[in-house]
């Protein structure tokens, strides 16, 4: 490939930038020249699923892909909070209360539609020219402005305390880690995201994505 997009199924425990670097290396070797490759929307290291990679001249259009709606499947763990909103953070016990499925579904309904959300400090958002997570890891205070996002749909797929599995269709800029934390706050149990998978971006589905293994990438 010289110009266009690639659909990749990102594995867990790898950064989106790590995926780009590996694919760029392979494509550059195949084409005999250094290739331009960029991703269209970061996935956290613990998350898996669909990454759209722009290659060559198509990198100029990367922002258009970034702004598209997305669908995620996530597992929310009740009773604890995480300093990062995911398994990588410091966990704190909050409550051993076990809400019913009806209680959870009533709370979940409150998040459908246009909502206000404050992105996590441990995110790739730039603050004064630096990535927020770099500042947060350095112990510096990070202030990220609240933003308006749209939750088009949000459903409870499965519930077996302490885990709630959800599926949600959201606008660009929505943080599922923050959504999990906000749901836990409303339930007064605390919560954080233990698993996250992006299954769709606009009309592209992860089922049609390639694995890194298909590029001969094993590390």
Residues noted as catalytic: 44
Question: What's the chain look like in SS3?
Answer: CCCEEEEEEECCCCCHHHHHHHHHHHHHHHHCCCCCEEECCCCCCCCEEEEEEEEHHHHHHHHHHHCCCEEEEEEEEECEEECCCCCCCCEEECCCCCCCHHHHHHHHHCCCEEEEECCCCCCCCEECCEEHHHHHHCCCCCCCCCEEEEEEEEEEEEEECCEEEEEEEECCCCCHHHHHHHHHHHHCCCEEEEEEEEEEECCEEHHHCECHHHHCCCC
């Amino acid at each position: 490939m010289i110009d266009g997009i690639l659909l990749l199924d990102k594995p867990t425990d790898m950064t989106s930038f790590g995926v780009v670097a590996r694919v760029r290396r392979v494509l550059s070797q195949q084409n005999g020249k250094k290739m331009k490759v960029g991703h269209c929307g970061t996935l956290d290291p613990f998350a898996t699923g669909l990454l759209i990679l722009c290659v060559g001249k198509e990198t100029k259009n990367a922002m258009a892909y970034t702004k598209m709606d997305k669908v995620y499947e996530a597992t929310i763990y009740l009773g604890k909070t995480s300093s990062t909103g995911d398994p990588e953070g410091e966990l704190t016990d909050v409550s051993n209360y076990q809400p019913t499925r009806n209680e959870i579904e009533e709370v979940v309904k409150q998040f459908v539609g246009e909502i206000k959300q404050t992105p996590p400090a441990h995110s790739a958002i730039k603050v004064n020219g630096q990535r927020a997570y770099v500042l947060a890891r350095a112990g510096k205070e990070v202030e990220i402005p609240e933003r308006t996002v749209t939750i088009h749909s949000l459903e409870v797929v499965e519930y077996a305390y302490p885990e709630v599995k959800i599926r949600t269709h959201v606008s660009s800029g929505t943080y599922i880690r923050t959504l999990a934390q906000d749901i836990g706050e409303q339930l007064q149990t605390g919560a954080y995201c233990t698993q996250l998978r992006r299954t769709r971006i606009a009309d592209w589905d992860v089922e049609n994505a390639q694995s890194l293994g298909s590029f001969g990438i094993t590390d």
